[in-house]
Chain A
Amino acid sequence: AQSVSQHNHHVILSEAASLELGCNYSYGGTVNLFWYVQYPGQHLQLLLKYFSGDPLVKGIKGFEAEFIKSKFSFNLRKPSVQWSDTAEYFCAVIPGDNDMRFGAGTRLTVKP
């Protein structure tokens, strides 16, 4: 079945460490790509999105993501995490004219 895969279920980092969260999808053709963040007890907020153009996209709070078409990947990165980045991160894909499909999420814990 076609899907969105986030391989890391729980990532634990110390403050100032670098972050990379993986996202792979199995849909062919045109895709719109998103990363959302959900802070504890809150709703999902958009971090960044990719529709077309420069495959390196920058989002809010110092996050960025790189679209690698040949690898069907859209990994999220941040050079130096803070305690306030503790949250759950969801990769989402809109394949073609279909609906938004979410990965299972990656829980990030940043230790002060």
Chain B
Amino acid sequence: NAGVTQTPKFQVLKTGQSMTLQCAQDMNHEYMSWYRQDPGMGLRLIHYSVGAGITDQGEVPNGYNVSRSTTEDFPLRLLSAAPSQTSVYFCASSYMSRHEQYFGPGTRLTVT
């Protein structure tokens, strides 16, 4: 099992550009989520999904969009990048909600 994979590992964007962060898991997990990690703030939930076709907002959803067309994939789209979105982004999955999550290796995003 590859577990949770994320691409790219690093990305630099200019303000206003859009991009998609990819996330995939091969554990047949129903629950998937996206977090951003900022120094001194821990991880904050952006969006989550409890199954294919179902997504919902987390704590900090503004400026981000998600979709879940398959169980395996959960891409995160930045609609118009802003410097405040400079962060490390982690995707995670779990068998179901309320269970431990397995994290991907992260994407370090810099917006200039």
A residues apposed to B, CB below 8 Å: 4, 9, 32, 34, 36, 42-46, 49, 90, 94, 97, 99-105
Judging by beta carbons under 8 Å apart, are B43 and A102 in contact?
yes
Judging by beta carbons under 8 Å apart, are A99 and B45 in contact?
yes
Tell me the nearest residue of chain B to A103, going by C-beta.
Answer: B42
> Which of B41, B100, B104 is in CB contact (< 8 Å) with A104?
B41
Contact status of A43 and B48, CB under 8 A, knowing A9-B40, A32-B98, A103-B42: no
Q: Kindly provide the distance from the CB of B50 to the nearest chain A CB, expressed in whole angstroms.
A: 10
> Which of B44, B58, B100 is in CB contact (< 8 Å) with A34?
B100
| A and B contact pairs by CB, cutoff 8 A, 8 listed | A9-B40, A42-B105, A43-B105, A44-B92, A46-B102, A99-B45, A100-B33, A101-B45
Q: Which residues of B contact A4 (CB under 8 A)?
A: 42
Tell me the nearest residue of chain B to A104, going by C-beta.
Answer: B42
Tell me the nearest residue of chain B to A45, going by C-beta.
Answer: B103
Q: Kindly provide the distance from the CB of A55 to the nearest chain B CB, expressed in whole angstroms.
A: 18
Query: What CA separation (Å) do A97 and B90 show in the bound complex?
Result: 22
Main secondary structure of the interface of B (DSSP, over half): loop
Query: What CA separation (Å) do A101 and B41 show in the bound complex?
Result: 11
Knowing that A46-B100, A104-B41 are A-B contacts, what are 17 other residue pairs whose CB atoms are under 8 Å apart, sorted by A's residue number?
Answer: A32-B98, A34-B100, A43-B90, A43-B103, A43-B105, A44-B92, A44-B103, A45-B103, A90-B42, A94-B98, A99-B33, A99-B97, A100-B45, A101-B45, A102-B42, A102-B43, A102-B44
Q: Kindly provide the distance from the CB of A54 to the nearest chain B CB, expressed in whole angstroms.
A: 17
Q: Does B65 contact A (CB under 8 A)?
A: no
Q: Which residues of B contact A101 (CB under 8 A)?
A: 45
Q: Does B22 contact A (CB under 8 A)?
A: no
User: What 3 pairs across the A-B complex have the smallest Cβ distances?
Assistant: A102-B42, A44-B103, A102-B43
